[in-house]
Structure formats: C-alpha cells, structure tokens
C-alpha cells in the first residue's frame, strides 16, 4: 500500500522533540511555579500520589487519543467508567461473584458500549458527538438504576487489592497505566492497525482509495476504548473500595484536555502517546498544585477549559500557517 501525502505519521527523533518542545517547556515551567508556591509539591510522597491520582486518566487518555487521531471524539468515557465501576461493585457485593468473573463482566460491558459507539459512528453514520452523547446518557441512567442512587461499599479484599497493592512504594495502578501507555505506543507505532488510525485521521478518502477498510478500522478503536474504560472502572472502584452513581463524572473532560494539550490535532492525523503523557502530567500538576495551595476545586474546571481552548486555537493557527507556507 502506497503512503498518501495526506496521511500523517508520528514524528520521530528531532522532529518529535521539536513538535513537543512547547509543551515540555510548559510542563517544566508549571512544575517550577507550583514548587515555588508550595514546598510539599516535590516531596516523594506527593509525586507518587500525583502519579497514582492520574493513573486512571492515563488509561482513558490512551483510548481518547485513538478517537481524536481518527478525527472523532468519545464523550461517553466517563459514564462508561462509572457504569463498569458500579457493575463491578454490585457483582462483588450484592451477588458475591468471583473476582475473575467480575473483571471479565466489566471489561465485556465496556467492550459492548464501545461496539455500540463504533457501529453507530462507522456503519450507521451517526456523528461521533451525537452517538457518544447518547451512550453517555444511557450509561449514566443505568449507573443510577444499578446503584440505586447510593454508594455501594466493597468488602472483598481480593477485589480491592486490584487497586491498592503497592510494589516498593509504587501503586499497582501506576504500573497498569504505564503498561497501557507502552502498549498504546506499540500499537500506534509498530502495527498496521496504528498506521490505519493515522491514515483515517489524515484523510479518510485517501485511506479508502489506498485499500483501508475505513468502516472496520473506524469502529475497532471504539471497542478498545470501551475495554480501557472498563479497566478504568475496575481500578477506580477497587481503589476507593466503593462505587457511587457519580463515579467517572468529568473524566471525559480531563482526557480530552490531556490529549489536546499533548499536541493531538482535533481534526485528526497528528498526535503521539509521548505528547499525551506530557498532557496528562500537565493536567495532574495543575490539579495537584491547586489542591496543595488550597485553591477552590471549582477553579480546576475553569483552568482546564481555558487550556483546552488555548490548545485548540494554537492547533488551528499552526494548520493555517502550514497552509500558507
């Protein structure tokens, strides 16, 4: 298959560093500012807590990166995390299901939601925003129904260990996130599947003429996104030892913010796992820093919204400049 000029592939080496230098400098500057504002920030315990607090977001971001690289979106990720987390808590607590059955069930529910999104978008031609908004509403409704509007407490040590085990002071959920980031990098950079994702985001028509099964490869990433959200639901409920109807609220905003801040173009075709990881750290440092400085948590949403807007405007200006060169 010949590479079309319309297809964008990940930057490497010097080109990769040059593309991400802005957000790298931004992260360093942010760390310096927060460190000067509160001496607690650079302590070992706080750094580990920062990584732990953003581990689930990192897993969700890997899924969101796939969607945005295709020029699509998925705003149902938060509700999917909430629904699978509540289902996991319900199965363990109310039905005494084995841990392995619960884990498989949560991943299967996530995959089902992803499949519904993927089929709706790829085969039924429903706009991604509309399709995932619908599943978001359905997911939130089912979460309320299953939980009964109350918090489900989990008293199964084997299940809670999935989110609370540590190795050498490093939480297991940080290791989960690291593994997912590495696998996502491999998927996007070393497989035909990853090449097709970039091809779809670069130019779907060109990809189709090049022999790519556009419908199939536009659907499959949504299935993977659902599985990752199912994993996130398991980890989050296990870590908290409970699950409430509000679980996962706002997770989609954090994921979109991190991916866009990391240099991924909202129109698709451009973006990397490395850049997304930097975006995750930026969001994490902002949240952690504001908490340490005792600033009202409501301001976090304001800052994230502003950052998303700035990142998108920069992307638009960059593309406009490229067109005129």
- Over residues 69-89, the pLDDT tens digits come to 999 999 999 999 999 999 999
- Over residues 159-209, the pLDDT tens digits come to 999 999 999 889 999 999 999 999 999 999 999 999 999 999 999 999 999
| pLDDT given for residue 18 in this prediction | 67
Return d(Cα 70, Cα 68) in angstroms, integer. 5
With the CA atoms of 82, 85, 88 and 94 taken in that order, what torsion angle do they form, in degrees rounded to the nearest 10?
-70
The domains located in the chain, with CATH, are: 13-317 (1.10.3470.10)
Of the candidates 76, 191, 195, which has an alpha carbon nearest to the alpha carbon of residue 141?
76
Q: Is the pLDDT of residue 222 over 90?
A: yes
**Are residues 257 and 3 in contact, defined by beta-carbon separation less than 8 angstroms?**
no
Q: Which residues have a Cβ under 8 Å from the Cβ of 324 and sit 6 or more positions away?
A: none
**Are residues 252 and 128 in contact, defined by beta-carbon separation less than 8 angstroms?**
no
pLDDT band at 150 (very low <50, low <70, confident <90, very high): very high
**241-252 per-residue burial string, b: 16 or more CB within 10 A, e: under 16:** bbbbbebbeebb
Average pLDDT across the chain, whole number: 90
Q: What share of the chain is helix, strand, coil (3-state, %, to 5)?
A: 75, 0, 25
Which is higher by pLDDT, 11 or 43?
A: 43
Q: Which two tokens stand for residue 276?
A: 């997304």
Which is higher by pLDDT, 13 or 58?
A: 58
Return d(Cα 305, Cα 159) in angstroms, integer. 35
| pLDDT given for residue 313 in this prediction | 80
């Amino acid at each position: 298959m010949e590479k079309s000029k319309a297809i964008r592939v990940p930057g490497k080496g010097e080109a990769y560093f040059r593309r991400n230098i802005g957000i790298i400098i931004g992260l360093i500057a942010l760390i310096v500012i927060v460190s000067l504002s509160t001496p607690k920030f650079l302590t070992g315990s706080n750094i580990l807590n920062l990584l732990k607090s953003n581990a689930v977001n990192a897993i969700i971001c890997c899924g969101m990166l796939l969607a945005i690289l295709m020029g699509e979106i998925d705003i149902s990720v938060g509700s999917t995390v909430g629904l699978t987390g509540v289902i996991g808590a319900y199965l363990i607590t109310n039905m005494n299901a084995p841990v392995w059955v619960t884990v498989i069930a949560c991943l299967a529910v996530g995959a089902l939601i992803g499949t519904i999104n993927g089929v709706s978008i790829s085969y039924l031609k429903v706009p991604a925003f509309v399709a995932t908004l619908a599943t978001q509403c359905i997911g939130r409704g089912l979460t309320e129904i299953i939980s009964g509007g109350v918090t489900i407490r989990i008293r199964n040590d084997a299940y809670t260990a999935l989110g609370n085990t540590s190795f050498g002071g490093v939480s297991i959920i940080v290791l989960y996130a690291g593994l997912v980031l590495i696998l996502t990098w491999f998927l996007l950079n070393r497989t035909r599947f990853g090449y097709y994702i970039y091809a779809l985001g670069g130019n779907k028509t060109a990809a189709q003429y090049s022999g790519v099964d556009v419908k199939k490869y536009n659907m499959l990433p949504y299935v993977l996104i659902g599985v990752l959200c199912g994993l996130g639901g398991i980890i989050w409920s296990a870590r908290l030892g409970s699950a409430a109807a509000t679980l996962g609220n706002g997770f989609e905003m954090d994921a979109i913010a991190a991916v866009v801040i990391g240099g991924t173009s909202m129109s698709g075709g451009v973006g990397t796992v490395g850049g997304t990881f930097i975006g995750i750290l930026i969001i994490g440092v902002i949240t952690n820093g504001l908490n340490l400085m005792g600033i009202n948590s409501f301001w976090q949403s304001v800052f994230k919204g502003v950052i998303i807007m700035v990142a998108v405007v920069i992307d638009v200006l960059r593309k406009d400049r490229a067109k005129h060169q």
